[in-house]
C-alpha cells in the first residue's frame, strides 16, 4: 500500500532541535504487513517494493503518525459533559455510579466498541486506558482492542476503600485479578498492561504494596494513576498518609515510581517532587481539558519539562471534554499562555505523536513515519471546515498550518486512520486505486 500526500514526522523534540521536524510537501509512505517499508519523496519509492501497490492518494492532505493519548478513562464516556462540581464530588455524583455498570460484561463490551470507534474517528491509535474495578471491564476492553489489532495500554482499576462497595475490590482480589490479566493480555498481540490503582486515597497501604509487588514481578508492565490533581485531594492524601512527604512520595514509598510509571495531572507539585520524578524517570501526563473543566489548576509545562521530567498529553475523558487531540493541544496551549510559555504547534504535534510514544517507552515502535515502525497512520484534511479553509489561505509557513489545525480542527479533519496498516476509518469521498 502506498500513501501519497504531504507528510509530517519528528525525529526529536522540536523545542530542542528545530531540524527534527520532517515535513515533505509531496511525500509518500509505503506500507506492508502492518509496518512502514519506506518513506520519502513521492515518485522516488523503490520499484521493487512499490510495484502493484494499492495507492491511497491524499493530494494536499497531511499524513502523519497516529495520535497518542496518555491518560483516558473508557468507562467515563457515558458521563462526559456532566455539569458542575470539582473532582471529589464529581467522582461521587457521576463517575462511580456509571462505573458500577461495568460489572455487566455486555455493557462493558458495547462501551469498549463505542470508545474505540471514537478514538480512531479522532485519529488516536494508541492510548493508556483506565478500565473499572471489574474484571469484566478489562476483559471486554482487551478483547475489543485485540480484534482491532490496536497498540493499547490498559488496566483494571484497583480501589479498595473510600468508594461505594459496588466499585471496590480488596487488596488480595485486586492483586489476583491484575496478575491474571497481565498473564493473559500483556504482550498478546499489540496489547500492553498497566497496573492501575485509581489514586492513593482509594487504596489502602496493603493495596499500594500489592501494586509495588506487581511492578517488581512483571518488570515490563506499566503503572498508571493520578497525582496532585486537586487541592482538596492533596489535603486528603496528607490526612490519609501522614508519614509521606508529599502525595507523590506516597507512591515512592511503595515502589510505584519509575520509567514505566504514568501519572496524570501532576499540577500541585513542589521542587522536591519534580526532582524525585526526574531522578526515577517517572512520567507525567498533562490533561488540560480536564484540568480546566473540573477547575483543578494549571499544569506548569515549561517548568516541569525543564526539571527533566518527560511529559505527554491526555484527554482524561470524561473529566476531560473531548477525545480529540486537537482539543487537547488547544487547551494545553491556552494553559501554557497563563503560565508564561507559548506552546508551539510543532511541539504540540510532537507531544501528540512521537513525543508521546517516547514517553510511553514505545518510541522504537510507533510515532514516526520511518521504515520498520508500526503503520499506525492518520491523514488530516487541512481544509476541513470553511473557517479553517479561510485561515489556511493566509498561512505562510508550516507553523501557521499546524497552528490553524491545533486551534480550529476537530474530528472532521481526520480523513483516514490506519491501524497496523489497515484502513479502520475513512472519509466517505476517499478514493483508492492501484498503481
Cell numbers given for 73:
478513562
Cell 489561505 found at: 393
Q: Cβ(313)–Cβ(288) under 8 Å?
A: yes
* pLDDT value of position 429: 62
Q: Cβ(7)–Cβ(24) under 8 Å?
A: yes
Query: Domains, the chain, ranges and CATH?
Result: 2-66+368-434 (2.30.40.10), 67-323 (3.20.20.140)
Q: Cβ(247)–Cβ(264) under 8 Å?
A: no
* Residue 1, strand partner residues: none
* pLDDT value of position 435: 38
Cα dist from 42 to 2, 11, 30, 53, 425, whole Å: 9, 20, 10, 13, 23
Cell 509495588 found at: 212
Count of CB atoms within 10 A of residue 17's CB?
11
pTM of the model: 0.97
Cell numbers given for 164:
461505594
CA angle 288, 352, 65 (to 5 degrees): 155
* pLDDT value of position 434: 44
Cell numbers given for 284:
507525567
Residue ranges of the chain whose pLDDT lies below 70: 429-435
Cα dist from 268 to 236, 244, 272, whole Å: 13, 16, 12
Amino acid at each position: 500500500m502506498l500513501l501519497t500526500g504531504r507528510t509530517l514526522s519528528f525525529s526529536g523534540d522540536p523545542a530542542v532541535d528545530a531540524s527534527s521536524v520532517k515535513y515533505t510537501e509531496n511525500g509518500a509512505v509505503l506500507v506492508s504487513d502492518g509496518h512502514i517499508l519506506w518513506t520519502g519523496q513521492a515518485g522516488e519509492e523503490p520499484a521493487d517494493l512499490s510495484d502493484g501497490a494499492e495507492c491511497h492518494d491524499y493530494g494536499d492532505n497531511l499524513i502523519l503518525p497516529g495520535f497518542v493519548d496518555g491518560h483516558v478513562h473508557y468507562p467515563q464516556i457515558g458521563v462526559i459533559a456532566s455539569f458542575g462540581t470539582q473532582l471529589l464530588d464529581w467522582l461521587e455524583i457521576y463517575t462511580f455510579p456509571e462505573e458500577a455498570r461495568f460489572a455487566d460484561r455486555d455493557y462493558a463490551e458495547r462501551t469498549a466498541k463505542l470508545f474505540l470507534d471514537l478514538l480512531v474517528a479522532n485519529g488516536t491509535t494508541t492510548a493508556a486506558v483506565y478500565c473499572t474495578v471489574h474484571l469484566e471491564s478489562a476483559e471486554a476492553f482487551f478483547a475489543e482492542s485485540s480484534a482491532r489489532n490496536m497498540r493499547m495500554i490498559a488496566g483494571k482499576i484497583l480501589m479498595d476503600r473510600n468508594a461505594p462497595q459496588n466499585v471496590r475490590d480488596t487488596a488480595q482480589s485486586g492483586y489476583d485479578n491484575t496478575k491474571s490479566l497481565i498473564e493473559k493480555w500483556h504482550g498478546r498481540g499489540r496489547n500492553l498492561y498497566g497496573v492501575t490503582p485509581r489514586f492513593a486515597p482509594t487504596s489502602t497501604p496493603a493495596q499500594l504494596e500489592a501494586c509495588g509487588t506487581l511492578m517488581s514481578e512483571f518488570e515490563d508492565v506499566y503503572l498508571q494513576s493520578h497525582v496532585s490533581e486537586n487541592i482538596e485531594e492533596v489535603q486528603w492524601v496528607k490526612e490519609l498518609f501522614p508519614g509521606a512527604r508529599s502525595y507523590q512520595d506516597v507512591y515512592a514509598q511503595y515502589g510505584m515510581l519509575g520509567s514505566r510509571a504514568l501519572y496524570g495531572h501532576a499540577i500541585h507539585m513542589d521542587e522536591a517532587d519534580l526532582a524525585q520524578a526526574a531522578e526515577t524517570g517517572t512520567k507525567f501526563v498533562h490533561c488540560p481539558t480536564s484540568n480546566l473543566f473540573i477547575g483543578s489548576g494549571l499544569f506548569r509545562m515549561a517548568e516541569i519539562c525543564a526539571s527533566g521530567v518527560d511529559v505527554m498529553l491526555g484527554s482524561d475523558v470524561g473529566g476531560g471534554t473531548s477525545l480529540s487531540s486537537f482539543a487537547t493541544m488547544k487547551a494545553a496551549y491556552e494553559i501554557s499562555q497563563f503560565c508564561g510559555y507559548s506552546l508551539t504547534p510543532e511541539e504540540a504535534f510532537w507531544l501528540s505523536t512521537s513525543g508521546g510514544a517516547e514517553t510511553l517507552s514505545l518510541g522504537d515502535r510507533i510515532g514516526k513515519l520511518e521504515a520498520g515502525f508500526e503503520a499506525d497512520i492518520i491523514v488530516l484534511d487541512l481544509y476541513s471546515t470553511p473557517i479553517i479553509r479561510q485561515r489556511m489561505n493566509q498561512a505562510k509557513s508550516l507553523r501557521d498550518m499546524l497552528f490553524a489545525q491545533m486551534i480550529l480542527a476537530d474530528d472532521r479533519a481526520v480523513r483516514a486512520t490506519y491501524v497496523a496498516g489497515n484502513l479502520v476509518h475513512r472519509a466517505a469521498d476517499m478514493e483508492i486505486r492501484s498503481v
